[in-house]
Amino acid sequence: MFFQIELWVNSSLGLSPRSMTPSNASFSKYSRFVSPIKFVIQTKHLINKAVFNKMKDSSLFINTSRGGIVNEKDLIEALKNGDISGACLDVFESEPLPLDSELRNMENVILTPHTAGMPDGRKFHKKRYDFFITNIKRVENGEEPESKLNQIL
């Protein structure tokens, strides 16, 4: 274990979802849990109340794979009760994360967009940042942004 992290591996590496069951993990030994797990019907809500109850209360749960593998209601309950110390999430059961989600206002939760990787290399990120800069300038100049999804207030 590198940095004392319990790492569950993706089933696309040859492991079946059955081998990733909570009973096969040593939750009480580690303080950080990273879950790069593929979402398939067998992994839906794989991480739930039973899993959070087995973790140390000092545990940090990190999910950057798929939101459906985590039962968010159980995660919120574990965070509120202090069953785990915090969570870092860039994926959610419902995308985008609903505005009224309790996760948005919890001090022990870090939420980020699901853009950590570089799937298309630097060209992808440059194109995205150029898009943002163009739209920020458009709004500053009183123009409508490109690809507007929400009303400007």
Catalytic residue among 45, 102, 114, 138: 114
Residue whose pair of structure tokens reads 């959070």 in the numeric block: 52
* Residues belonging to the chain: 153
Contact 102, 76 (CB under 8 A): yes
Helices (H) and strands (E) in the chain, counts: 3, 5
Instruction: HSE, CB side, 13 Å, CA atoms: give it for residue 107.
Output: 1
Contact 60, 86 (CB under 8 A): yes
Residues in a beta bridge with 88: 62, 110
Other CB atoms within 10 Å distance of the CB of residue 52? 25
125 is catalytic: no
104 is catalytic: no
Catalytic residue among 6, 32, 66, 93: 66
DSSP 70: B
Catalytic residue among 95, 104, 128, 143: 95
66 is catalytic: yes
Residues acting as catalytic residues: 66, 95, 114
